[in-house]
Every structure is written in structure tokens, then in C-alpha cells.
């Protein structure tokens, strides 16, 4: 049984792509409320696929993903309802280019009747003020820098008041000088107690902010530990090899 | 009138013997109106079925995909004239349309079958335009919409389609230009569009060539500026995207 503290539980998830490529091979993990989990590993190790399986953007070939006690791989449940609980931030931001910043943020809450347009506008402005971009409310995404876009993408996800935030390499597509501003927003979010799963190449961020670090390689979860243990005393030879290359 | 002398000594087979104009101008003016009506109405009518066909073509179900695929294949692989004849004599041989005249010169019992045939034909082409437009929208857009808890329908309607339609607007306008030309085939079934007008003038005046030259000129003067305008709008839209 899921303990009340547990929010996501992944059980024996396998993801096989067409052509027989196994992106995930029998992965299990659990994430507790308020926890920040960093997922690291070489490219092609399946870490993004893992993250995308958490809100079923990628549908597992087999295995279960249990969110808040509900198995969301069950085809009978209303997946859209459960996705609301999980905000997602993408590598390439995926802001809606034909809408203003404010509209990007308010679209889903208003459409799903969680808020009136007026309430959603107020929330959007508050969130934008928090990240110092209130003056961009009326701008279109094309007018913003990468760092600004990603911070707004974070805010857009937060506007749904999710219980978990998923980050898929949120700083990988950014110019180096903009990485900091995005990581700062994420740090603040972690401090505020948000549950977060972060696929990242930023080892410094993983060490500083994560409660636990998951190391993946060739579709398998190889090692899970606290950042200090995993970075300073890796147990598995593959973890050691990877860390020796990136640290 | 002063310019009627211009054509006095021209042969009936001359390219520019427009001496019929004072008497027969109405044939061309009504012809233009009829042609534009045919083209615009049939493409507008084609938009919704085409959207449906495009979405069906992108469906997960193989059956739905192949129904749409078959429709598109049939209409793209047979001549418009054949489709028009089958629909006119077949479909509208059964369905009776009252002989009601619109604006005094658009006989609905001919116009409606013509528009239906052109729209059915056009929807096959427009469906492919839409499909390409939808596929050109980055897959991350739908993923972002879904990750916010929006349904596939909402994601399509609010996020993907507005971007797709913007992408395909020029192609859609070009389809109207194509229809302005293609609709000339309706003259064969007695629809009083531009080509029909030219033919009627040629046979009643024995000026065999110039009515067609004039028709060609008119088609050109409609379509060329139209396609230039479409290009300009397209360029402006691109600029808007970049800023």
C-alpha cells in the first residue's frame, strides 16, 4: 500500500519503442511529497523517457505508474484529470507562440473551469511578479529570451497549482548566461516545498537542491542515493565512470 | 462611342477584336461574379469537410485513416470534369433543386450541383493542405497542452489548429485561385460563369477568338494580383513570427 507521504510510485515500467528499442527496462522508483529528485545519466539512458512516463506523455509498454494512489496507466481513468496535478517543463519551453504570456498562463485554468478569467489573470500576474516578468504579460513568446521563456513555462505549469513539477532538461537549450536565472526559480520552488522530478545535466544543481539523485544508464535505474553519497561515494562502476566524465 | 472605331477593321479571328464589348459586356461581368461565387463558396464549403478529413487522416484508428485516405485518393486521381458530370447527372438527377434564380443570373439548379462537386473535389486537396499544416506544428505544442491537463480536442482546437491554420492560410487562398481557374469547367454543364459567357459571345457574334482572349485577361487580372497579395500577407505573417 502506498504510504500517505508517497505521491508517485513507478512499478516495473518497461518502455519499448517501435523497432524494439528498449528505452526503459524494468524501472521502479517512488517519490515522496516535498521531495526533489534529480535524474541524471548519459544521453540515451532513458531519463527523459522515465520522466515522460510519469505523466504518461510516453505510455509504458508494461508496468504501473501510480500517482496519489491512482494507477494512471489504467485506461479507465480520466488521464487529463490526473495530468493537472503534474506540471511539466520542457527542454524547448513549448510556450504557445500565438498567445501572449498571460494567455499562455491562464489558458488551461480557465478552459478547465478551475478559475474565472479574472481570477486566472490575477494569479498569472502574481506569479509573473514572483519571477520579475510582470512587464512581459502582454508580450508574445517570440519577443522573449530563452531564459525568460523557460521561467514563464514554469509559471504556466504552476498556474495549474500542481502537486508535482516535472522538469525535462529545463536548462539544456539555454545560452549559458541564462541557465542561472532558471535554476534560481527552480531552487526557490524547491525551497517552497514543491515536489519535483528533474532530469538534468546540471550536477551542481542536483547536488545542491536534490534530496535524492537517481542515476540511469541504458534504460535501467542503476543507483539511487542522496546527492552527497552518490556524488562522493558512487557504488556502481557505471555511476563511477559517468561521474568521472562529468564532474 | 469613340473607341468603337478602334475595332472596325479587325478580323473576326483577331486576338483583340473587342468590338462585341459594348453589347455583350454584361456576359463578362456576370461571368466574373458567377466565377468568383463558385470559387469562393466551394472552397469555403470545402474547409470543414477538409478539416475533418485531415483529422481523420491523423487518427489512431486505421479504419478511420483509410476512409479518409480513400476519399482523398478518389478525388485526386479522377478528373474534375468526370466528378462534375457524375455528381450533376447522378447525385442531382435524384435530388431536385427548384429552378430558383439568385441575383437574377445564378440558376440554383445548376449552381448548387456545381458548387457541391467543386467543394467535394477541393476538400480532398484542402485536406492534404491541412494535414501538412497540422504536422508542421511542433509536437511539443500538443504535449505542452496535454501536460496542462487539456484534452486532445482542446489541444487541437486551442493550440495546434490556430498555428496550423496560420501556416496553411496562404495555401488555402491559393486553392481559391486554383478554383477560379478550375471552375471554368462548369461552363460545360451550362453554368453561366466567365468561360460560359465567353463561349456564348463567341457563338452569337462569330468573333471566334477575342472573347476568349478577354476571358484569359480577366482570369489573369483576378488571379495574379490575388496570388501576389497572398505572398505579401505570407511575408508579413512570417515577420510577425520572428519579432
pLDDT above 60 for A213: yes
pLDDT of residue B8: 66
Query: Which residues in chain A are contacts of B144 at CB distance < 8 A?
Result: 88, 90, 94-96, 153
Q: Distance between CA atoms of B76 and A91, rounded to whole angstroms?
A: 41
User: What is the longest distance spanned by two Cα atoms in chain B?
Assistant: 77
B65-93 per-position pLDDT tens digit: 999 999 999 999 999 999 999 998 888 87
The Cα A71–Cα B26 span in angstroms is 72
The per-residue pLDDT for range A41-99, each reduced to its tens digit, is 998 899 999 999 999 999 999 999 999 999 999 988 999 999 999 999 999 999 999 99
pLDDT score recorded for residue B2: 63
- Are the C-beta atoms of A212 and A181 separated by less than 8 Å? no
The model's pLDDT over A139-178, given as tens digits with 9 standing for 90+, comes to 999 999 999 999 999 999 999 999 999 999 999 999 999 9
Question: Is the CB of B141 less than 8 angstroms away from the CB of A94?
Answer: yes
Interface of B with A in 160-179 (CB under 8 A): 162-163, 166
Supply the pLDDT for residue A148: 95
Higher pLDDT, B97 or A120: A120
pLDDT over 80 at A245, yes or no:
yes
pLDDT of residue B19: 74
Contact between B148 and A83 using a beta-carbon 8 Å cutoff: yes
pLDDT at B96: 75
In angstroms, the CA A143 to CA B240 distance is: 10
DSSP state of A141: G
Grid coordinates given for A166: 516535472
pLDDT of res. A1: 45
Measure Cα distances from B237 to A77, B191, B240 in Å: 41, 37, 5
- Whether A71 and A243 have beta carbons less than 8 Å apart is answered as no
Q: What is the pLDDT of residue A2?
A: 46
Which ipTM did the prediction report? 0.91
- Spell out the residues 6+ positions from residue A137 whose beta carbon is closer than 8 angstroms to its own: A100, A101, A102, A124, A125, A128
Q: Do A142 and B158 touch (CB under 8 A)?
A: no
A92: nearest CA in chain B? B140
pLDDT at B22 over 80: no
**CB neighbour class for B57 (10 Å; exposed up to 12, middle 13-18, buried from 19):** buried
Q: Do B148 and A160 touch (CB under 8 A)?
A: yes
Q: What is the reported pLDDT for A104?
A: 96
Q: Which residue of B has its CA nearest to A54?
A: B147
Cα A212-A217-A218 angle, rounded to 5 deg: 145
pLDDT in tens, B135-163: 999 999 999 999 999 999 999 999 999 99
pLDDT above 50 (res B243): no
In percent, how much of chain B has pLDDT > 70? 93
Give the strand order in the sheet containing A36-40: A86-89, A164-168, A195-199, A36-40, A212-217, A220-225
In this structure, are residues B4 and B21 in contact, taking their beta carbons and an 8 Å threshold?
no
Q: What is the pLDDT of residue B234?
A: 81
Nearest to A198 by CA among A176, A220, A167, A171: A167
Q: How much is the pLDDT for B241? A: 59
pLDDT of A137 above 90: yes
pLDDT recorded at residue A42: 93
Interface size, chain A vs chain B, as Cβ–Cβ contacts under 8 Å:
65
Residue B147 and residue A107: Cβ atoms within 8 Å?
no
Q: Mean of the pLDDT values across residues B102-110?
A: 75
Amino acid at each position: 500500500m502506498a504510504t500517505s507521504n508517497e505521491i508517485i510510485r513507478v512499478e516495473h515500467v518497461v518502455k519499448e519503442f517501435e523497432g524494439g528499442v528498449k528505452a526503459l527496462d524494468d524501472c521502479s522508483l517512488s517519490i515522496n511529497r516535498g521531495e526533489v529528485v534529480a535524474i541524471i545519466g548519459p544521453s540515451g539512458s532513458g531519463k527523459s523517457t522515465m520522466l515522460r512516463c510519469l505523466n504518461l506523455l510516453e505510455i509504458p509498454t508494461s508496468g504501473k505508474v501510480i500517482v496519489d494512489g491512482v494507477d494512471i496507466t489504467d485506461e479507465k481513468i480520466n488521464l487529463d484529470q490526473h495530468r493537472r496535478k503534474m506540471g511539466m517543463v520542457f527542454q524547448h519551453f513549448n510556450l504557445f507562440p500565438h498567445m501572449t504570456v498571460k494567455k499562455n498562463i491562464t489558458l488551461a485554468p480557465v478552459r478547465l473551469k478551475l478559475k474565472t478569467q479574472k481570477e486566472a489573470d490575477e494569479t498569472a500576474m502574481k506569479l509573473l511578479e514572483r519571477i520579475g516578468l510582470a512587464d512581459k504579460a502582454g508580450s508574445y513568446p517570440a519577443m522573449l529570451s530563452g531564459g525568460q521563456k523557460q521561467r514563464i513555462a514554469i509559471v504556466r505549469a504552476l498556474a495549474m497549482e500542481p502537486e508535482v513539477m516535472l522538469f525535462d532538461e529545463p536548462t539544456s537549450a539555454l545560452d549559458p548566461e541564462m541557465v542561472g536565472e532558471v535554476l534560481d526559480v527552480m531552487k526557490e520552488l524547491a525551497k517552497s516545498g514543491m515536489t519535483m522530478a528533474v532530469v538534468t545535466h546540471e550536477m551542481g544543481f542536483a547536488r545542491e537542491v536534490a534530496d535524492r539523485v537517481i542515476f540511469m544508464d541504458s534504460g535501467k535505474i542503476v543507483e539511487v542515493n542522496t546527492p552527497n553519497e552518490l556524488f562522493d561515494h558512487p557504488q556502481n562502476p557505471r555511476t563511477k565512470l559517468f561521474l568521472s566524465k562529468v564532474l | 462611342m469613340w473607341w468603337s472605331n478602334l475595332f472596325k477593321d479587325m478580323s473576326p479571328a483577331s486576338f483583340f477584336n473587342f468590338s462585341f464589348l459594348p453589347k455583350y459586356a454584361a456576359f463578362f461581368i456576370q461571368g466574373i461574379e458567377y466565377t468568383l461565387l463558385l470559387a469562393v463558396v466551394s472552397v469555403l464549403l470545402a474547409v470543414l469537410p477538409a478539416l475533418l478529413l485531415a483529422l481523420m487522416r491523423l487518427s489512431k484508428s486505421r479504419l478511420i485513416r483509410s476512409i479518409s485516405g480513400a476519399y482523398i485518393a478518389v478525388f485526386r486521381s479522377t478528373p474534375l470534369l468526370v466528378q462534375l458530370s457524375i455528381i450533376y447527372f447522378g447525385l442531382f438527377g435524384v435530388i431536385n433543386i427548384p429552378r430558383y434564380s439568385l441575383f437574377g443570373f445564378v440558376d440554383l439548379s445548376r449552381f448548387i450541383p456545381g458548387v457541391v462537386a467543386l467543394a467535394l473535389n477541393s476538400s480532398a486537396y484542402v485536406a492534404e493542405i491541412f494535414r501538412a499544416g497540422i504536422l508542421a506544428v511542433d509536437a511539443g505544442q500538443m504535449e505542452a497542452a496535454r501536460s496542462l491537463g487539456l484534452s486532445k480536442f482542446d489541444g487541437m482546437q486551442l493550440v495546434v489548429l490556430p498555428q496550423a491554420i496560420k501556416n496553411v492560410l496562404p495555401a488555402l487562398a491559393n486553392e481559391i485561385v486554383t478554383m477560379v481557374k478550375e471552375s471554368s469547367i462548369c461552363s460545360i454543364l451550362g453554368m453561366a460563369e466567365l468561360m460560359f459567357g465567353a463561349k456564348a459571345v463567341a457563338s452569337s457574334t462569330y468573333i471566334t477568338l477575342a472573347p476568349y482572349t478577354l476571358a484569359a485577361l480577366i482570369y489573369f487580372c483576378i488571379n495574379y494580383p490575388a496570388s501576389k497579395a497572398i505572398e505579401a500577407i505570407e511575408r508579413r505573417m512570417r515577420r510577425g513570427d520572428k519579432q
